[in-house]
């Protein structure tokens, strides 16, 4: 009888040992002591065994810290990248990536419905330093190709699904378009998480995460990450991460690591609950339109079915009564907490136009005023549906 390989197997990444189980990877144990949970190495520096005699390569915690190393190894394994880098926030990761890959005079193509903070970084911080940008819909490969300025465009930057309109971009096709032009494809994978989608395996060069969201999963940490497919770029990012210094601290790294241990089970529950809520909203006359890539009528449904495992925990909808109705729903829910952010175990509701996306008001990226965004949590779904039903009035 043939012995079948175990579902769970060990993967070595430098000094780290990772458990890999199909779609999930988690740090197996601390290589120094065998502690099953990697310790929080609250230290800024390390004893050297003689000048330059570093123990395990650790010298100073901006350059590397074992808790951060554990997180970075875990993220690299989950996204199937060459290396991962953990930052103090998603925007710190984004800023470091732009400064690694672009110089004044270069150009970046952005989604025309990018996360407001990403747009603000490019428009208000990078542009004055000379990095230009233009926007194109991620769901339209030809429009992205047309937005590229040959020789000048260094990055094609997408989110899929986008925040908050949940548009879907074809990662494989957009990687080809970017590469034809000598640019890199960057995918912000925050909404999907590596459990549902692995852009590097589809040809993307860099994955961005706000680990504040599904990776952390408990609304108790702000963090970011870059995961890079190839060694050469990884080395450049490593240099910039250390030189700029916007790194994740050991406590924050530990929280994200702990979150990642339950990523798979959380994501499945987020998806189960989101599907039932979509079903409810889609049959409710007080709702004008439900936006969810799992709906067959969503223009990106077929593509999302191919490149995502499931459709995620984010749901957007437009209310029949316009902006006033949208604001009123946001203010009346009790189980859904009114707040920015997403990806935590508790459900959140927000009005993108006035909250997360206020920074794109008056630009081409402005979001509809009657739009409500839900981050569906892992609570009992009947409670969530009853809450929305009451709040819709
Ligand atoms: C899709 C997306 N990317 C990036 C970010 C920025 O991450 P952070 O808030 O951790 O800086 C966010 C934050 O909401 C986001 O939603």
Centre of ligand 1 to C-alpha 390, Å, is 30
For position 13, what pLDDT does the model report? 58
Q: Is the CB of 159 under 6 A from ligand 1?
A: yes
Structure tokens at 325: 């109705």
- Alpha-carbon span 177 to 187, nearest angstrom: 14
Find out whether 107 and 132 touch, Cβ atoms under 8 Å. Answer: yes
3-state secondary structure (DSSP) of residue 197? coil
User: Could you tell me the mean pLDDT of each successive run of 10 residues in the chain, 393 residues long?
Assistant: 37 57 61 86 96 92 95 94 97 98 98 92 98 98 98 98 96 98 98 98 98 98 98 98 98 97 97 98 98 98 98 98 97 97 97 90 88 98 98 95
For position 5, what pLDDT does the model report? 34
DSSP structure class, residue 235: H
User: Alpha carbon of 205 to those of 41, 55, 199, 202, 303: distances in Å?
Assistant: 31, 32, 8, 9, 20
Nearest to 319, CA basis, from 377, 376, 370: 370
Centre of ligand 1 to C-alpha 323, Å, is 24
Q: Is the CB of 112 under 6 A from ligand 1?
A: no
Centre of ligand 1 to C-alpha 343, Å, is 11
Nearest to 389, CA basis, from 311, 283, 297, 312: 283
Q: Is the pTM of the predicted complex or chain greater than 0.95?
A: no
For position 314, what pLDDT does the model report? 98
> 161 preceded by cis ω (within 30°)?
yes
For position 364, what pLDDT does the model report? 78
Active site (catalytic) residues? 62, 115, 188, 213
Considering only CA atoms, which residue is closest to atom 9 of ligand 1?
A: 90
For position 4, what pLDDT does the model report? 32
Mutate to test the pocket of ligand 1, among 86, 87, 91 (most ligand atoms within 8 A of CB): 91
Considering only CA atoms, which residue is closest to atom 14 of ligand 1?
A: 341
Angle at 300 between CA 346 and CA 267, to 5 degrees: 25
- Alpha-carbon span 239 to 131, nearest angstrom: 20
pLDDT digits (tens, 9 = 90+) for 32-77: 788 888 899 999 999 999 999 998 889 999 999 999 999 999 999 9
- Alpha-carbon span 91 to 83, nearest angstrom: 19
Nearest to 369, CA basis, from 315, 328, 318, 330: 318
Tokens 């680990």 sit on residue? 211
User: What residue spans of 121-184 are helical by DSSP H?
Assistant: 141-147, 171-180
3-state secondary structure (DSSP) of residue 340? coil
Find out whether 310 and 278 touch, Cβ atoms under 8 Å. Answer: no
Q: Is the CB of 370 under 6 A from ligand 1?
A: no
Mutate to test the pocket of ligand 1, among 190, 199, 352, 360 (most ligand atoms within 8 A of CB): 190
For position 7, what pLDDT does the model report? 35
């Amino acid at each position: 009888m043939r012995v079948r390989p175990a579902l769970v197997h060990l993967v070595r990444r430098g000094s780290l040992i990772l458990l890999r189980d199909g779609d999930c990877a988690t740090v197996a144990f601390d290589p120094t002591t065998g502690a099953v949970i990697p310790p929080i190495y609250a230290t800024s520096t390390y004893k050297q065994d003689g000048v330059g005699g570093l123990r395990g390569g650790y010298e100073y915690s901006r350059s590397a810290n074992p808790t951060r190393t554990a997180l970075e190894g875990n993220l690299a394994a989950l996204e199937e990248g060459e290396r991962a880098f953990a930052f103090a926030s998603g925007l710190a990761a984004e800023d470091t990536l732009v400064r690694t890959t672009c110089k004044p005079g270069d150009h970046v193509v952005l989604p025309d419905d990018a996360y407001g903070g990403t747009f603000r970084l490019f428009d208000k911080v990078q542009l004055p330093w000379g990095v230009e940008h233009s926007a194109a819909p991620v769901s339209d490969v030809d429009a992205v190709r047309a937005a590229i300025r040959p020789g000048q465009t260094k990055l094609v930057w997408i989110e899929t699904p986008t925040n908050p309109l949940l548009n879907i971009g074809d990662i494989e096709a957009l990687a080809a378009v970017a590469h034809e032009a000598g640019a890199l494809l960057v995918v912000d994978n925050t909404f999907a998480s590596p459990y549902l989608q692995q852009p590097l395996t589809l040809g993307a060069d860099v994955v961005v995460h706000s680990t504040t969201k599904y990776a952390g999963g408990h609304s108790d940490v702000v963090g970011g990450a870059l995961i890079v497919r190839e060694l050469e770029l990884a080395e450049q990012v490593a240099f910039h991460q250390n030189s700029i210094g916007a790194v994740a601290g050991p406590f924050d790294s530990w929280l994200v690591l702990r979150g990642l241990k339950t990523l798979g089970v959380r994501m499945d529950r987020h998806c189960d609950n989101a599907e039932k809520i979509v079903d409810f909203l889609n049959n409710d006359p007080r709702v004008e339109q439900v936006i969810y890539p799992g709906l067959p009528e969503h223009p990106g449904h077929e593509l999302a079915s191919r490149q995502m495992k499931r459709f995620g925990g984010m749901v957007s909808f437009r209310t029949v009564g316009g902006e006033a109705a949208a604001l009123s729903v946001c203010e009346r829910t009790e189980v859904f907490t009114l707040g920015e952010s997403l990806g935590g175990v508790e459900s959140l509701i927000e009005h993108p136009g006035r909250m997360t996306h206020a920074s794109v008001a008056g630009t081409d990226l402005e979001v509809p005023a009657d739009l409500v965004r839900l981050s569906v949590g892992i609570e009992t779904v009947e409670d969530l549906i009853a809450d929305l039903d009451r709040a819709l009035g």
